[in-house]
Chain A
Amino acid sequence: MLELSGVCKSFTRGGVKRDVLKGVDATFWPGDAVGILGRNGAGKSTLIRIMAGVEHPTSGRVRRRMSISWPMGYGGAVHDQLSGADNARFIARIYDRPVDWVESFVKEFSEIGDQFRQPVKTYSSGMRARLIFALSMAVDFDCYLIDEVIAAGDARFAERCRQSLLSRRGRSALILVSHHMETVRSLCTHAAILSDGRLKFHENLDQAFAEYQHL
């Protein structure tokens, strides 16, 4: 279970305070597949980073009672100076997975080839995305946080990502943030709309899409 209660987040830039999230309440269970829709700048990325624990809320509380992935779709989560293999071993150790198994799984799944032993900074953006996705599959999280990862990498790999995520639907939770309704439709069963710093849930995808279009 992942529970957010009264989560607020504000940033202060040059003395000006801006409230990005104004009290988000939400609970996610394993098996949920929720798409969070929001316009650019609505605070989608901030929200998913708070869920992942990358950032801390200004006020409010986040309780994590299942293993939560890092927010996928960003550059983070891997270290540039280390090789893909070293990153895999590090992540295996952190999440208590068999180190050698994770390394070979990631090598195979990511299809990086010989560069697997080179520093990540030498990778192309597609290879990077494949590495990060493969790492998250190797850890086998209870909940995946995804920010437009489907757009990264080539079409064939994107389809594989989609299939891998779909095959996990039911046992892992999936939280996807996007401003594309199609992406949400292809992976999610429920949708929520983030606007004006608040999150509103809709049981029905079409109802959510209709409201989203009116924003």
Chain B
Amino acid sequence: MLYAPEDVSFLRALRARCRVIGALMLREIHTRFGRQNLGYVWLFVEPGMLGLGVGAWKYFGGGDESMPGGLNKFSFFLIGYILFYLFRTLVNRSPNGIEANFQLFYHSRVTVEAVMLARSLLDAGAVTVCMSVFLILIGVTIGEWPSDPLQMAFGILMMMGLAHGLGLLILSSTAAGSQLVDRLVHPFTYLMLPFSGMFYMVWWLPGPYQEILLWIPLIHIMEFTREGQFGPGVPYSYDLPYVLSWIFVLNFLGLCALKAAKPHFEL
């Protein structure tokens, strides 16, 4: 016996949702990475290779200049790159969330919200495993272990929440027929790179710039996650209620926009 969503208790509905999201994640892994080639490994290799490249380039190419506060360059840029990678991937991929998965919507239990959430969770999970692997490698080779891994995981989760909410908004506007938003997404993520905090920490900069940059939630997340790695010793600038408000508002608006855009979806 099957139950439609309106028919069931909250817990049962929640379980059904979770099951659908789990199935979607498995399917996404299959379709994106296939059973052949490197398969599942590729999920972790791709961000890893890029993070490794940037990290190594900065480490060797940066010469003898030491980092302010004596931070390890390698882990500094690795964390920055991987966090930004998560943001960029989720936001860039959001406009085609419906087109790329149109077969799924033949199943009434599969909602656009579930598909998007499954994709975001999968990418966040991939990035978490990837970062863990590299941080363990750094720990083993250099002896620098994360001071608070849980804090770093929470940082990744916040980055996912932020990019997810923004992605929902972008998806809704493209689905409702706005080509402009679709075109602007890639330039936007490129332009965000210098404002993401990937290459610097806020306290390296003069005061007036700090104030302006701290309007951007990405920077707070970067600082928060880096504190999880380096621990006390250098100043960090972040405001958790500010970031969480951003995440909440973006997701709320995103879900509203998606609901409003649904009658305009064309498959």
Contact = CB atoms under 8 A, between A and B. Distances in A.
A82 B267 contact: no
Interface string B1-29: 01111110000000010011011001100
A93 interface: yes
Contacts of B267: 49, 54-55, 76
Most buried by B among A9, A11, A94, A141: A94
Interface stretch (A32-40, A67-75, A154-162): A67-75
Interface in A55-82: 55-59, 63-68, 70-71, 74, 76-82
A57 B263 contact: yes
A67 B23 CA distance: 18
B103 A68 contact: no
A96 interface: yes
B2 A94 contact: no
B2 A52 contact: no
Contact of B103 (A55, A71, A76, A93): A76
Nearest to A132: B106
A6 interface: no
A76 B27 CA distance: 16
A94 B110 contact: yes
Most buried by B among A9, A11, A70, A78: A70
A141 B1 CA distance: 9
Interface residues of A, number: 36
Contacts of B107: 70, 77, 91, 94-95
Contact of B2 (A56, A67, A74, A86): A67
Nearest to B262: A56
Contacts of B105: 53-54, 76
A9 B262 CA distance: 12
B31 interface: yes
A77 to B, nearest CB: 4
A91 B2 CA distance: 14
A82 B109 contact: no
B106 A93 contact: no
Contact of A76 (B22, B23, B106): B106
Contacts of A79: 27, 31, 103-104
B188 interface: no
A103 interface: no
Given A64-B6, A82-B30, A55 B106 contact: no
Given A52-B108, A59-B263, A94-B20, 5 more contacts: A52-B106, A57-B263, A58-B263, A81-B30, A94-B109
Interface of B: 2-7, 16, 19-20, 22-23, 26-27, 30-31, 34, 102-110, 262-263, 265-267
12 contacts: A53-B108, A54-B267, A55-B267, A58-B263, A65-B6, A68-B108, A76-B267, A79-B103, A86-B27, A90-B23, A93-B26, A94-B107
Q: Kindly list the 10 A-B residue pairs having the minimum CB-CB distance in the complex, ordered from nearest.
A: A67-B2, A53-B108, A93-B23, A70-B106, A76-B106, A77-B106, A56-B262, A64-B4, A58-B263, A65-B4
